Structure 1
Amino acid sequence: MNAPTGMAESYWMHSTGPTTYPRVTEDLDTDVAVIGGGIAGLCCAWEIAGTGRSVTVLEADRIVSGTTGYTTAKVSAQHTLVYDLLRSSFDADTARLYARSQQDAVEHLVRTAADLGIDCELERAPSYTYVTSADEVATIRAEVAAAAAAGLPASLVTETGLPFPVAAAIRVDDQVQFHPRRYLLALAENLIRSGGAVYERTRVAGLDEGDPCRLTTEHGATVRARDVVVATHYPIFDRALLFTRLQPRRELAVAGPLATGADPHGMYITPEENTRSVRTAPYGDGRRLLIVTGEHLRPGVGSTADAVDRLAGWARTHFPVDSLDYHWGAQDNTTTDDLPYIGRFHPGTRHVYVSTGFGGWGMTHGIMGGRLLAAELAGESLPWAGIYDPRRLHPRVETGTLLKSGLAVGRHLIGDRLAPSTFVDSAADLAPGRGAVMRRSGRRSAVYRDHDGRLHAVSAVCTHLGCLVAFNDAETSWDCPCHGSRFDIDGNVLEGPATTALDPIDPDHD
């Protein structure tokens, strides 16, 4: 990176302590097993526990340490330019149901935090989508009209709290920003007090959809459950073929202290400049923490370090920040019709559910999805359940995106094998802190030299569907460009859909 950007960690992770929930070591039974301990899984588990059923959360690593621990943490019904898209792609009713479900999630968060007495730095703030180009004003006007028709208190403004002029913006008042780990760690504690169970370092490796369902963990224990919710961000099971309808993307964030007088007093996002999202959070000593997100890219494609530099440069140019204390990245998945998949996993299932495809708005969708699934498992149905049903098919809307996504996967699956080695041809030429995919002993290897000079080598073949990984030079990881699986330098899974590590290779054997 060209300029210092602080520690490679999110503020949410750095400002909260670790968790120490136990691992599943023996077989157990539960009414509902929830796979995944992020916002989608914990909110779902907490809501289900409230219906009187026993519920168990199974997290592969530590709860709230994946994408949820690296979010921007906006909880808003105003999602960039979604309402005009929904109205034109589907109909006015779909846009209206989407707005109702999202605003319901916003208010549910506020009520729950108050009822449980959770101190999570929750703040009400207006939410804006803005443009700086006069050519894009018509786009904002259309979004304001569509959002207002969907029932949101949306207005068109040309003045904001940003320290630079905008051509136009949509404003929606009384949205929420908060500290996601403080909220969710408290929710997990309340779940335990209510009779639920949380297990960490328990990676689920197999699913038998019997009656009851049987989950097999990587250490051999079996969890039997009447119902199963797959809330692993990217589904770890491919039986529904959702991997053909999900497109992974990675977004980056930088954060640094800002004087209170420079606070823009709101949550902002623009689709311009490869996305720029801005909010602040309390930071002590009368300061705010400026958080700027953007530079989205497909995992494993392009230089992540260069993207962090661009984002940091934008933050320093537009805001009076003396330093950037943090930088981090988060991953999300967008569906082919821009609506999340929340409901029964596939047409043939009776007891397995999924919550995924949040498209960059996981805080609101995670809360909403928990309410939706808890109702469905209780034999009820919320008014908006139909628009999120994973079994839906919208060929007119999805075909173009499906073809584009399929071509991208095919290009990496085949083309990357024909490409030359990355950066260097020999491990001897690999500088400290650098990684490369190279051919060693007739096979593609992912080789990294750490700052102490030691080599780490693993197979470059992703254990999900066999694409080749690429080195992430900002986060020191191996990322798969096909479906977004991520691995550390020793091949351990950081992010699914892969569930098994990359094969180890002798680093000294050429």
Structure 2
Amino acid sequence: MSDHTGTQTSYWIETAPGVPRPALTEDITVDVAVVGGGVAGLSTAWEVARDGRSVAVLEAGRLAEGVTGYTTAKLSALHSLVYQRLRRTRGADGARLYGRSQLEAIGRAAELVDELGIDCDWETAPAFTYATDHDRVSEVRAEAEAAREAGLPAEFVTDTDLPFPVAGAVRVADQVQFHPRKYLLALAEALARGGGQLYEHTRVVGLHEGEPCRLTTEAGHTVTARHVVVATHYPIFDRAMLFARLSPRREVVLTAPIDAGRAPQGMYITPEENTRSIRTTPYQDGTRLLIVTGEHFTPGTSDTGEHLARLADWATEHFGPLEFRHRWATQDNDSSDTVPLVGLLHPASRHTYVATGFGGWGLSSGVMAGLLLSALIDGREPPWAQLYDPRRVGTVLREAPAFLKYQAKVAQHFVGDRVAPFIGGGSLDDVAPGDGAVLRVGGHVCAVSRDDSGQLHAVSARCTHLGCLVAFNRAEQAWECPCHGSRFDIDGRVMQGPAVRPLEQRDV
């Protein structure tokens, strides 16, 4: 990947490094154990602590540095074209409950910013879903109507402050853009001051459901809790079979300084051109930082560098010459019926909960999940609890075509990846510096990469989640599973779940 697309780092992580937290080094007992320290996990921990319960957050990496650290950071209830689909699949009442829950989440975040005095570049701005294709105007107009019926202050417009014309757009006023890590790290600090336990570099690998529940960490420590919340973005436990109802996707992000006078004031997204999302944030010397996102793809199916190049070309075409400062990729999970899965983990669960399937809108949905899960743990049931219930069946069946289409792709990998080792070829000498390949070496299927110094790195090519073959992402120097989105570094260490175990080392 050429340097013209900026340094490979998230602006949010670069500008808010955070205070290191210790790893768990002993067995502990708490009322609520939260697995995952992103927006959903920290929001849930905050809410249950406010209810008077002791809580521990167990994060495999750094707090708010996983998926949340790579977001585009829009806190909005306008989720592309979701409301007309919800009106069709969940009825007008379901769409209203969705809109109401998302708006309440935005309000809750605003309350905490004021209450805790959080400095997080909080800005109120309108959100837009737009189309440039005149053939899609009726679709956008229908979304404006559905969103308005769902309770959002939505309107159909044709004028925006984008530097190019649009055929039509949904506009929703008073949405929010902010610095997600500054917000969440401040929340974590307040939680710690109140007695909450926060642990980093503490990977959870086992769950025993019962009364009480028990979690086991990679280091062998036990966390005993009355309630457990799995907020790892993609659930790390398969007993609920949620992996069959989730499809992972990655998108790339570019940033570039832009003169404040030319910067769009709103937050924009379009499903056209393989998705384009645009917003800005305060930057240096009175300028704004343009943040452009898009080019979604399934992990392990294409190289991030190609998508970054296309996005850079698009941004330059529409905004003029740009000096790109940052580039990164983010990963999201789509549920088979559009709505996130937040609630009890599976039908037999009594004290184990999950939050997943945010479909690219994890900030508002993560805050919503904290409110919903804390209420359920407290014995209360918000009006939208059934809407998000992971145990729902009817809507999944109504969305069967989309569900079956994705599962067919996964099935191809399950079957093909077990045949490939016997028909594959290639040589270690074929692996160039900075590249990687899946090869059959000494009877083993190996994921072999060569770093820039020429040194070989070899690990098992079978994902430790369910055994699909990984593929190499040259731009990010990572092995990715196309089935469920697990990601590993060149030495096999887990970068992203649902896998919790590393790829085995291979001697080549």
* CA distance, structure 2, for counterparts of residue 346 and residue 284 of structure 1: 48
Q: Map residues 34-113 of structure 1 onto 2, 5 A cutoff.
A: 34-113=34-113
* CA distance, structure 2, for counterparts of residue 156 and residue 203 of structure 1: 46
Q: Map residues 178-327 of structure 1 onto 2, 5 A cutoff.
A: 178-327=178-327
Corresponding position of 2:335: 335
* CA distance, structure 2, for counterparts of residue 86 and residue 249 of structure 1: 21
Query: Normalising to structure 2: TM-score of the pair?
Result: 0.98
* CA distance, structure 1, for counterparts of residue 423 and residue 454 of structure 2: 19
Pairwise CA distance, 1:269: 0.2
Cα 1:201/1:207, change in 2 over 3 Å: same
The reply on whether 1:399 has 2:367 as its aligned counterpart is: no
Pairwise CA distance, 1:417: 4.3
Cα 1:383/1:14, change in 2 over 3 Å: same
Pairwise CA distance, 1:418: 3.9
Pairwise CA distance, 1:398: 2.7
For 1:284, give the aligned amino acid: Q
The alignment partner of 1:141 has SS state of helix
* CA distance, structure 2, for counterparts of residue 417 and residue 3 of structure 1: 38
| Cα offsets for 1:215-235 (capped at 9, x unmatched) | 111111110000000000000
For 2:273, give the aligned amino acid: E
Contact 1:422 1:437 in 2 (8 A): no
* CA distance, structure 2, for counterparts of residue 76 and residue 243 of structure 1: 26
Contact 2:250 2:330 in 1 (8 A): yes
Pairwise CA distance, 1:406: 1.5
Gaps of at least 5 residues in structure 2 are: none
Contact 2:99 2:150 in 1 (8 A): yes
For 1:198, give the aligned amino acid: L
The alignment partner of 1:409 has SS state of helix
For 2:208, give the aligned amino acid: D
The alignment partner of 2:13 has SS state of helix
Corresponding position of 2:15: 15
The alignment partner of 1:405 has SS state of helix
Pairwise CA distance, 1:400: 1.3
| Cα offsets for 1:10-43 (capped at 9, x unmatched) | 1001111243111111111000000000000001
Corresponding position of 1:410: 411
* CA distance, structure 2, for counterparts of residue 428 and residue 14 of structure 1: 37
Pairwise CA distance, 1:3: 6.2
Contact 2:345 2:354 in 1 (8 A): yes
For 2:490, give the aligned amino acid: I
The alignment partner of 1:240 has SS state of coil
For 2:358, give the aligned amino acid: F
* CA distance, structure 2, for counterparts of residue 207 and residue 214 of structure 1: 6
Corresponding position of 2:432: 431
Pairwise CA distance, 1:432: 1.1
For 1:463, give the aligned amino acid: T
For 2:221, give the aligned amino acid: A
Q: Alignment RMSD, CA only? A: 1.4
For 2:72, give the aligned amino acid: T
* CA distance, structure 1, for counterparts of residue 171 and residue 363 of structure 2: 19
Contact 1:422 1:438 in 2 (8 A): no
The alignment partner of 1:456 has SS state of strand
| Cα offsets for 1:62-106 (capped at 9, x unmatched) | 111110000000000000000000001220000000000011111
Pairwise CA distance, 1:323: 0.8
Pairwise CA distance, 1:383: 1.3
Query: Normalising to structure 1: TM-score of the pair?
Result: 0.97
Contact 2:463 2:481 in 1 (8 A): yes
- How many correspondences in the alignment? 507
* CA distance, structure 2, for counterparts of residue 303 and residue 58 of structure 1: 31
| Cα offsets for 1:237-272 (capped at 9, x unmatched) | 000000000111111111111111111111000000
* CA distance, structure 2, for counterparts of residue 321 and residue 13 of structure 1: 26
Contact 1:59 1:201 in 2 (8 A): yes
The reply on whether 1:448 has 2:452 as its aligned counterpart is: no
* CA distance, structure 1, for counterparts of residue 453 and residue 302 of structure 2: 26
For 2:336, give the aligned amino acid: T
Contact 2:478 2:489 in 1 (8 A): yes
* CA distance, structure 2, for counterparts of residue 57 and residue 460 of structure 1: 31
The alignment partner of 1:308 has SS state of helix
Deviates more, 1:274-283 or 1:421-430: 421-430
* CA distance, structure 2, for counterparts of residue 158 and residue 420 of structure 1: 54
Pairwise CA distance, 1:312: 1.0
Pairwise CA distance, 1:492: 0.3
* CA distance, structure 2, for counterparts of residue 494 and residue 212 of structure 1: 30
Corresponding position of 2:480: 479
The reply on whether 1:156 has 2:164 as its aligned counterpart is: no
The alignment partner of 1:415 has SS state of helix
* CA distance, structure 1, for counterparts of residue 467 and residue 251 of structure 2: 24
Corresponding position of 1:463: 464
Contact 1:308 1:474 in 2 (8 A): no
Pairwise CA distance, 1:152: 0.8
* CA distance, structure 2, for counterparts of residue 372 and residue 89 of structure 1: 22
Corresponding position of 1:357: 357
| Cα offsets for 1:267-286 (capped at 9, x unmatched) | 00000000000000111201
* CA distance, structure 2, for counterparts of residue 250 and residue 19 of structure 1: 28
| Cα offsets for 1:463-492 (capped at 9, x unmatched) | 000000001122110000000000011000
Pairwise CA distance, 1:430: 1.6
Pairwise CA distance, 1:399: 1.5
* CA distance, structure 1, for counterparts of residue 284 and residue 325 of structure 2: 14
Report percent identity of matched pairs: 58
| Cα offsets for 1:106-142 (capped at 9, x unmatched) | 1111111011000000000000000001100000111
Cα 1:16/1:421, change in 2 over 3 Å: farther
Corresponding position of 1:118: 118
For 1:413, give the aligned amino acid: F
Pairwise CA distance, 1:453: 1.0
Contact 2:424 2:440 in 1 (8 A): no
* CA distance, structure 2, for counterparts of residue 434 and residue 250 of structure 1: 20
* CA distance, structure 1, for counterparts of residue 423 and residue 127 of structure 2: 42
The alignment partner of 1:172 has SS state of strand
Pairwise CA distance, 1:423: 11
Deviates more, 1:444-453 or 1:17-26: 17-26
* CA distance, structure 2, for counterparts of residue 421 and residue 302 of structure 1: 23
* CA distance, structure 1, for counterparts of residue 408 and residue 304 of structure 2: 23
